[in-house]
Structure 1
Amino acid sequence: MKQIRLYITASQSDCATALDLLSAGFEDDGYPIATMEIDEDNDVWEASLYAMEDELGRLKAAMASCLQPALPAVAIDVEVLPEIDWVAHSLEGLQPVRAGRFLVHGSHDRDEVRSGDLAIEIDAGRAFGTGHHGTTEGCLEMIDRITRQRAFHSVLDLGTGSGVLAIAAAKLTQAFILATDIDPVAVEVARENVRINRCASQITLRTAAGFHSDIFARSGPFDLIIANILARPLMKLAPSVSRNLAAGGQVILSGILAEQRMKVLAAYNTQGLYHRRTLWRDGWVTLHLAR
């Protein structure tokens, strides 16, 4: 089954509006959404939604309905994406990432690890997060910063993906770490990465949507919660994050566009969680909050 890209071509302002509308309408269903600049001189951008070819009819109509309130006349185009060996393609030229004391690298770059590095091996072919995105990099740096300041005993990595952030926490703490994800495939990928990085005795992995599992009550409350998801789900989860956070606990949030920062902060302020620091990376922010 081929993958397709449904996209509109418009100004940067209109594509930013489209990004907000598409995020509100589709992000909870797991469809990747993105904007990209096409022509800087003439302010030409594209806003895209990625899906499988058999979903074209339904999603094109749903996308048009989603955009209609603000962009009623915009045309939706479709591109059928080429079939690529993404494992091999993603490894080409992919360099190790340094974030704080961490070096995130693929198995092909083990010789890049230097004395003093906290090495995390995540192959690019193992999807769901390799450290090369600004949100993951920001979380790694924030974990490095706050673990210098205090000890943590119980950590939750919500939406663990590849497991890279749970592994990072294990490298710097003696904490029990619960890592969960809504996607069972991601959990299996994370489990293998945890094994490769020799953290299996410290990290428990579970498939769970949000906080809908008794594993959270059995394992919490947590004195550090890390969630690198997306802004809207993070805002919806604010009450649950607060309920599962120990007294004096701290929170790291990412997957947040810079322009969404204040909305996310407002959602957590109402739960008694307040801003301590923001890291800015490539148009994304990572937030550190505490009671």
Structure 2
Amino acid sequence: MSPRHVTRSRKIESQHRGIATSDGAGVKLTRVLTQHYQRRLDPFLMLDVFASDDPDDYIAGFPDHPHRGFETVTYMLAGRMLHRDSAGHEGLLQSGDVQWMTAGRGLIHSEIPQQEAGVMEGFQLWLNLPARDKMIAPWYRDIAAAELPRFTTPAGVAVTVIAGESHGTVGAVTRDATQPLYLDIHLPAGSRFEQTLPPGHNAFVYVYRGSAAVDGEAVASRTMAILDNAPDSDGVCIEATEDSRLLLLAGRPLGEKIVQYGPFVMNSEQEIYQALADFRDGRLESV
């Protein structure tokens, strides 16, 4: 169990608003963590944010597409999304649910909205796999909102622990290689939250409601703040002057070569060529 008190907070290294884009069959989203930051935020590869009450922005969803070499973590704040994949998995993600999928050696899956109106909002995170695990068997888990570990601090800060450990609460998923921490933190106005972090782990905050301050520096809504890796820091201190919600993510960098081509993330160009050939020849999930 890690100590709760942070003696020296990390500071903000840089802030970024993300890039408006579309994916799948035209789903509109904001790519907050882009390929440009993959090395800096290793082991995290991508963070997409989707939020709209216009069905035209999301209704077509993400029809069948392949993946190999990494994990995806989908966190639904609002809406309903049906997942199906070539490994025989199927699940309905609803408001507050998490889907953790290890693509490993490969699978083909789809994510299709199960609503024709209302708000669709959430996040999809891509988490890298170490070279030794790139070709493991695919794995999948749906975690219902009610099953996600949670706690509330004396200051009224409500924390959902998707991965890792915070204040003695162990998250729904743990990973030895990358040691990801994934927290959804709801801060009432005037509250403060501290989280210990290993100095060598890369970390960032994404504010999606209200605004917050990291070690005194303000972060506006819909902004990612990359935290520095000062060797004398032991965590991060976050404060909110208004009711705010944010994600805090941290992980142990793999320090391996990252070669991405669309939905494939490997360690060499040759491995990418092999993934493309396997997909083309219908062998992606049976290698």
Q: Whose helix fraction is larger, Structure 1's or Structure 2's? A: 1
- Higher strand content, 1 or 2: 2
TM exceeding 0.5:
no
Radius of gyration: which is bigger?
Answer: 1
Structure showing greater relative contact order (alpha-carbon pairs closer than 8 Å, 6 or more residues apart): 2
| TM-score normalised by structure 1 residue count | 0.30
